[in-house]
Amino acid sequence: MSEGAKKIGLIIGQEWDWPEAFMQTINQSSANATAELVQLGGTFMDEPCEYDVIVDRISHEIPYYKAYLKYAAIQGTYIINNPYTCSADSKFSSTALVNRLGFKSPRTVVLPNKQVDRDVTPSTFRNLKYPMDWQAIIDYVGVPAIFKDNLASGRRGVHRVHNVDELIQRYDESSTRTKILQQIIESNEHIHCFVVGQKKVLSLLYSVKHGRYKQNTLANEEGKGKQLAEAALRITRAYQYDINMVEFVIKDDVAYVINGTYPTPDIDLTLMTESQFQWLVAETAAVALERAERPLPQAGIFNQPESNN
């Protein structure tokens, strides 16, 4: 590694297919850069960050990692994806933004927390109506509906509800988690648009039956593929995410955005073909190298004041 080389770090969970291929791609490239796993063991408030770019894949699950990434961003490290934006993201806010941008999405209700992890009194909740009109919620969303976490990704804590009694039962089990109830758009046509660098889109057809992507990809140049790619780009650019996945279902020739933001999408050989996987490895490595050389401004990250000395 020559002097002035750029350093790219990864913060990951249990995945390994993509991180290994990503680091190998950068370390074997002609670019003056290296990639490695970030090693953390407590962070001092005046500790320098040695990375030009950090790619975050797991801080939504580990609060300490999120705290470190916000600190690293203040030190001048470019984070993929912006930890301040990711912290503010949620399924409900994403759905609201999708609607604001003019796209269709499932009817969604965000619910008050059943419990809060704070010392509170009844007067703390003077802004909440009680009891909630559960029937009105069911009537708005329709049944069956999906009851799930507003923040968590994946299928953990996801339940179908078919009536008011089931909704109240699941709500009573929700503890301190913020939950949403969302309309189910029944369809066999699921399309996931991976957006990299706010420029390139890989649109994959997902088979619910087989739990993986189909071999053929959807072309972005015309028809439905062009419509979905343009929508995915517009949503992703609104968040300024460098890696994102937008999930669509098609019903009666109408596209619904059922997940507008997934900034840590699964990139795994058990889910996709070798060529699909390699495309994502190459493009994510390319955008990390580009951001190391020419970082973009990141919203919510404070500029250091100039010294008066």
> Is 275 inside a domain boundary?
no
Indicate whether 177 and 235 sit together in one domain.
no
**C-alpha torsion angle, residues 209, 213, 216, 219 (rounded to 10):** 120
Q: The tokens of 258 are what?
A: 């059922």
CA distance 38 to 264: 17
Q: The tokens of 83 are what?
A: 């930890």
> Is 277 inside a domain boundary?
no
What DSSP string describes 34-69?
A: EEEE---S---TTPPP--SEEEESSTTT-HHHHHHH
pLDDT of residue 302: 65
Indicate whether 172 and 220 sit together in one domain.
no
pLDDT of residue 155: 64
Indicate whether 82 and 21 sit together in one domain.
yes
| Range in 73-77, 102-106, 122-126, 137-141 the model is least confident about | 122-126
- Domains in the chain: how many in total? 3
Q: Is the pLDDT of residue 235 over 90?
A: yes
Indicate whether 205 and 257 sit together in one domain.
yes
CA distance 193 to 233: 9
pLDDT of residue 305: 45
pLDDT of residue 257: 97
pLDDT of residue 119: 83
Confidence of residue 69 (pLDDT cuts 50, 70, 90): very high
The domain boundary, picked from 228, 244, 262, lies at 262
The domain boundary, picked from 239, 262, 285, lies at 262
Q: Which tens digit of pLDDT belongs to each residue from 28-50?
A: 999 999 999 999 999 998 899 99
Mean pLDDT of all residues belonging to the chain: 93
CATH number of the domain residue 15 falls in? 3.40.50.20
What DSSP string describes 147-209?
A: EEESS--SSTT-EEE-SHHHHHHHHHT-TT--EEEEE----S-EEEEEEETTTEEEEEEEETT
> Is 97 inside a domain boundary?
no
CATH number of the domain residue 254 falls in? 3.30.470.20
Q: Which tens digit of pLDDT belongs to each residue from 276-306?
A: 999 999 999 999 999 999 999 888 776 544 4
> Is 122 inside a domain boundary?
yes
Indicate whether 174 and 193 sit together in one domain.
no
Indicate whether 152 and 177 sit together in one domain.
yes
pLDDT of residue 293: 96
280 φ/ψ angles, rounded to the nearest 5 degrees: -70, -40
Distances (CA, A) of 150 to 24, 215, 303: 35, 31, 31
The boundaries of the domain holding residue 243 are 187-262
DSSP structure class, residue 241:
-
Q: Is the pLDDT of residue 93 over 90?
A: yes
The domain boundary, picked from 120, 149, 183, lies at 183
Confidence of residue 307 (pLDDT cuts 50, 70, 90): very low
pLDDT of residue 122: 82
> Is 60 inside a domain boundary?
yes
> Is 309 inside a domain boundary?
no
Indicate whether 257 and 193 sit together in one domain.
yes
Q: Is the pLDDT of residue 216 over 50?
A: yes
Indicate whether 217 and 258 sit together in one domain.
yes
> Is 158 inside a domain boundary?
yes
> Is 283 inside a domain boundary?
no
Rg (CA), the chain: 21
